[in-house]
Structure 1
Amino acid sequence: MSKLINSIKSFRRHGTKIILTLSLVVSFILPAYAQENLWKELNDKTTTLLQEKRYADAIKSGEDALKIAKETFPPGHISIAASMNLLGILYRTYTMYDEAEPLFNQALDIYRETNGTDHPTVAYVLQELAEMFLLQDNYAKAEPLYKQSLGIYENVSGQDNPGIVNILNRLGEIYQHQEKYADAILFYKRALAIEVEIFGNDHPDVASSMNNLATLYYHNGENTKAESLYKQALEIYENEYGADHPLVATILENMAVFYEGTGKKEAAKQLHDRAKKIYSNYRK
């Protein structure tokens, strides 16, 4: 009986300490958990505001999210990288390039250290950084970043991965601006082939790519290929939007330039007049 009494007394003495210790542990865990939830809410809110093109509100939310991330997670945590990349994208939309660039680079360092150099997260940030340089017409910096990103995606998901279409088009755009038409054609052709595989032959996105590729063929002196693609793109747009839609007029104008440049003056005039009429009617 005395042993039982002594055990009860001991629990009363030491049990109180145990309960206090557990209370302290819980008091530290709950705020950290709440902080993580707060970061996630802010990050999700920032993403939504970006999608809604409410950029000023998104920047404020993104700055708050990054601040909470740095307070909540250990240095080099991927959640910090995620907030850095998102805020970098937002700064880029406001042409705040000096603020955006270090955030992209820091996010890259974290993702490379955590996930490895060939991870899709690295490719994603490389692509966003390249986009920033492209917006500044800095092709010398944009091109290698796009190529690094492309290489990672190809290694991970294959050469026909739908996720690389935008990169292929961007590289084509860079070479087109530099008048390296043969190089540009290679990338635009790859992008078009993937889009046809995804959407089929009659999708408006396919028509847009055909239009771009036709213009490159024209500049590269491949006129038969150019004319064929212009006609295919025009037919798709007319079937999708009707004969009097502004997108139809866009292709008509490109075709008019093509026919003018290849000596078909009358055909060029007819297409130009038709495009002009569409634009005029659309503005009424």
Structure 2
Amino acid sequence: RESATARATADYLVDTFRLSEPSTQNPRTITALSILDRSAERARTELADQPVVLARLISTLGMAYNNLGLANEARQAIEGSAPAIARAGADGADAQLTLAGTYLMLGQLDRAMTTVAKAQATLGPDPANRPDVRVRAAVTEGMIHAAAGETTKGIAAFDRALAVYRTSPAINPARLATVLQARGNLLSDDGQFAAAETSLGEALKLNRSTLGDHHMETGQTWFALAQNAFLAGDLPLAETRIANALKIEREVLDPDNPIIADALSMQGQIYQAQKRLVEAERSLEQAVAIYKKAFAGPHYLIGIAEVYLALVESERGRTEMALRILDDAKHNYDVSYGRIHPNHGDLLVNRATILARAGRRNEARADCAEGLKILAQTMGPQASYTRSMTAVCAQI
């Protein structure tokens, strides 16, 4: 069956690259997007009776869309093939996981987790059945938990994936690096900076040795290391690392790719902490512009960048402007998360610091109390971030 599937896939790909109208189409003007769009449409119409082939192809196309920063197109392509993917049974799990990752990119966390659960149910209870796909499911689950601020659950999911990879006779270094990086990010969020540095350092070593110094994944690992240094308070190291990430990402991605926006947002946060307000504003505004173009609607990543833009305006003495920016950040959180998230608590604590700077201490203390309450409810009162924000509020 695998051989027949491979032949059908190869035939499909060959036909896709043929010009549909050779008399009118200029091959020099055909874009990657036009090829992806054509491929998705052909897959839905021509492979409906071959669900296994369709599921494999549509998953690959979805990942290609996502790599180009086209999450909405990926969602439409995979959702449009949902009936065939369901008929593919366990062979459709990969496509479901690509869809889950797409929902995660779009900030639709509940839909992402529901889709992961469907994929895991499709695989069944036997751990020997498609272990590679099970690992991908665990990694995707961990990333969703991370975005939801559920640190302990996220680390547990990544540890499940690592346990499989560490014992695999044919370990894939790039996939191992992905899990190590995701795990390192969560350890960093939990305030375990040294453990995070170890995990992320191993990921960087693997990516540089297997993919090279100019690969996007290597750039993403530099980003994660920059974030860890930033959270640990080492701003010079964070600045150097985010510059490494941006250099690589700008070499391999279009300038309006949201992955670049992530790095710009991080760079802006670093500059804001260094009191380099003009540079911070520039990086953060560039990030917001890219996000707004990519997502065409509210998104939590817009909100995160806006929180730091508000802090920049506050330090310039523009309190009302800062508060208006925070209102928009909250709107992005409300719509994107659809529920109370730790970032709501973080926003309130930052709002409190802005109000306190303007001498409005009673309002500031009320916001601090509400923000800490949200952090305790969503992350736990003993979580590293809850404790650090408690220390901030104690100074107000």
- Shorter-chain TM range is 0.5 to 0.7
Pick from 67, 90, 96: which aligns with 2:167?
67
Pick from 183, 188, 210: which aligns with 1:111?
210
Q: CA deviation at 1:91?
A: 4.9
C-alpha contact (below 8 Å) 1:210/1:233 kept by paired residues:
yes
The aligned counterpart of 1:136 is 232
Q: What amino acid sits opposite 2:235 in the alignment? A: Y
The aligned counterpart of 1:19 is none
SS of structure 1 residue aligned to 2:167: helix
C-alpha contact (below 8 Å) 2:303/2:329 kept by paired residues:
yes
Q: CA deviation at 1:153?
A: 1.9
Relative to structure 1, the CA distance from residue 102 to residue 202 in structure 2 (aligned partners, 3 Å threshold; closer, same or farther) is closer
The reply on whether 1:157 has 2:253 as its aligned counterpart is yes
Pick from 296, 309, 327: which aligns with 1:213?
309
CA distance in 2, matches of 1:191, 1:83: 29
The reply on whether 1:80 has 2:80 as its aligned counterpart is no
Q: What amino acid sits opposite 1:44 in the alignment? A: R
Report 1 or 2 for greater relative contact order, CA contacts < 8 Å, sequence distance ≥ 6: 2
Q: Which moved more, 1:192-201 or 1:173-182?
A: 192-201
Q: CA deviation at 1:89?
A: 3.3
Q: What amino acid sits opposite 1:100 in the alignment? A: S
CA distance in 1, matches of 2:270, 2:290: 19
Q: CA deviation at 1:146?
A: 1.6
CA distance in 2, matches of 1:39, 1:239: 37
Query: Per-residue CA shift, 1:56-80, capped at 9, x if unaligned?
Result: 3532431331331xx326xxxxx21
The aligned counterpart of 1:50 is 142
Q: CA deviation at 1:205?
A: 5.1
The aligned counterpart of 1:231 is 324
Query: Per-residue CA shift, 1:32-91, capped at 9, x if unaligned?
Result: xxxx986624532441452343423532431331331xx326xxxxx2132134134325
Relative to structure 1, the CA distance from residue 41 to residue 160 in structure 2 (aligned partners, 3 Å threshold; closer, same or farther) is closer
CA distance in 2, matches of 1:170, 1:240: 18
Q: CA deviation at 1:236?
A: 7.0
The unaligned stretches of length 5 or more in structure 1 are 1-35, 74-78, 261-267
Relative to structure 1, the CA distance from residue 124 to residue 252 in structure 2 (aligned partners, 3 Å threshold; closer, same or farther) is closer
SS of structure 2 residue aligned to 1:184: helix
Q: CA deviation at 1:257?
A: 2.9
CA distance in 1, matches of 2:155, 2:233: 23
Relative to structure 1, the CA distance from residue 156 to residue 63 in structure 2 (aligned partners, 3 Å threshold; closer, same or farther) is same
Q: CA deviation at 1:195?
A: 2.7
Relative to structure 1, the CA distance from residue 66 to residue 211 in structure 2 (aligned partners, 3 Å threshold; closer, same or farther) is same
Normalised TM-score (structure 1): 0.61
SS of structure 1 residue aligned to 2:255: coil
The unaligned stretches of length 5 or more in structure 2 are 1-127, 146-152, 377-396
C-alpha contact (below 8 Å) 2:158/2:179 kept by paired residues:
no
SS of structure 1 residue aligned to 2:312: helix
Q: CA deviation at 1:277?
A: 9.4
Pick from 109, 121, 128: which aligns with 2:217?
121
Q: What amino acid sits opposite 2:320 in the alignment? A: E
CA distance in 1, matches of 2:355, 2:223: 35
Relative to structure 1, the CA distance from residue 203 to residue 228 in structure 2 (aligned partners, 3 Å threshold; closer, same or farther) is farther
CA distance in 1, matches of 2:134, 2:270: 35
Q: CA deviation at 1:222?
A: 5.8
C-alpha contact (below 8 Å) 1:172/1:184 kept by paired residues:
yes
Q: CA deviation at 1:239?
A: 10
C-alpha contact (below 8 Å) 2:176/2:203 kept by paired residues:
no
SS of structure 2 residue aligned to 1:72: coil
Rg larger for: 1
Q: What amino acid sits opposite 1:40 in the alignment? A: D
C-alpha contact (below 8 Å) 2:177/2:204 kept by paired residues:
no
Q: CA deviation at 1:250?
A: 5.4
Normalised TM-score (structure 2): 0.46
Identity, % of aligned pairs? 15
Q: Which moved more, 1:195-204 or 1:160-169?
A: 195-204
Q: What amino acid sits opposite 1:121 in the alignment? A: E
C-alpha contact (below 8 Å) 1:88/1:99 kept by paired residues:
no
